[in-house]
Amino acid sequence: MSRKVRLGIIGLGTQGGLYAGFLADGTVPNMELGAIADTDPEKRAAAGKYGVPVYADHHALLASGEVDAVVTTVPHYLHPEIGIAALEAGVHALVEKPAGVYTGQVAELNAVAARHPELTYAIMFNQRNNPLYQRIKQIVDDGEIGRIRRTNWLITTWWRPQGYYEQSEWRATWGGEGGGVLVNQAPHQLDLWQWICGVPESVYAKVAYGFRRDIAVEDEVTAVVDYGDGATGTFVTATHDLAGTDRLEILGDQGKIVVDRSKTATVTRLVKDEREISDSMATDDVRKLFKGEMDPTQFYSQEVVEFESAWGAQHRGVLENFAANILDGTPLLAPGSDGMHGVRLANAIHLSSWLGREVPLDFDEDVYLAELNERIRAEGKFDERPAGTGGS
């Protein structure tokens, strides 16, 4: 292999075109464009401008010998199928988010990847390459705000008009896309939430389907998770908030992190555990507190963390990291197996709303798939999904 990884782009839509542009411009130094595949003749014709071989499907591309690795820029249900095909063909795989639509698909993909440890398997969680979230994770991992007691993420910056959903037959359907805001817009936040704060034990969700849009899938979600030991979290997202809010709060017993619009974080560090501060307050101190005569800043310090991130830099960084792992074993920012966490949480949120009760994160996958297929049947447009990859 040359010192540049030859990448095959499977699916030349918006995202595939973005990556092709990066590689054509030479902005990913250890990677080059090897080939493109798309089932759409018009997109294949458009791919001619890149000067690389173009194929009618991923099978032909994988058999061509023109690529060392592929990225799956295709509809969600196809990510596991194509990822598995690549790995079994001896080709490194970078899957787009989400890793799949339901956990059975992702489990099969992860199992195939585990049988091929010689190959690199990663997922395009480009927000893990955001220096702001990397710093926040470091602060949490280092125990600077103590043990997490509560988390809240309000992320409603996904406003989508009705026309967005009417672009294609598969969009915002159970059989074609597998869900709404949870599988399309919010997978990055579901990943970051667990990557930074930990995987919850259970979830209870209130979800509205077609609440403010004429669609079958969810456009409004409120989920409450339980981390155990009294710690809880909430996740709220929607696609009908025109003004939109993006605010993450992580409260620990020794501090707090507040992130606004994924750009600025205010980190508060207490001088000691909050319970110790509480227990040390005498009656006189409490009186002063109520009368506004106490300066609370004596108990904490604050730091504002802010990073500038150039457009496209995070995606390019994941591509570069993926190639570096292939070439010299550089650790992956986002191992492909991590894709299971976000899919499992999204499935649990759906299942909780469908069953009307709290569900554990280790829910019965067969129950979820049966509920999903019931909704696919009601749509009457797509085939039901099997327990494996759901390939077509």
Tokens 């991923």 -> residue:
58
Domain with CATH 3.40.50.720 in the chain: 5-127+312-336
- pLDDT of residue 169 exceeding 50, the answer is yes
Lowest-confidence region among 292-301, 359-368, 380-389: 380-389
Cα 113–19–126 angle (5° rounding)? Answer: 60
Q: What is the DSSP string of 222-255?
A: EEEEEEETTEEEEEEEES--SS--EEEEEEETTE
**CA gap 114, 358 in Å, rounded:** 32
Residue 223 in contact with residue 349, Cβ under 8 Å?
yes
**CA gap 238, 223 in Å, rounded:** 12
- CATH topology assigned to domain 5-127+312-336: Rossmann fold (3.40.50)
Tell me the pLDDT band of 253, cut-offs 50, 70 and 90. Answer: very high
pTM above 0.75, yes or no: yes
Domain 128-306 carries which CATH code? 3.30.360.10
Domain with CATH 3.30.360.10 in the chain: 128-306
Give pLDDT, residue 309: 73
- pLDDT of residue 198 exceeding 80, the answer is yes
- pLDDT of residue 392 exceeding 50, the answer is no
How far are the Cα atoms of 12, 20, 180, 370, 389 from residue 175, in angstroms, in the given order? 22, 29, 11, 13, 14
Share of the chain above pLDDT 70, in %: 98
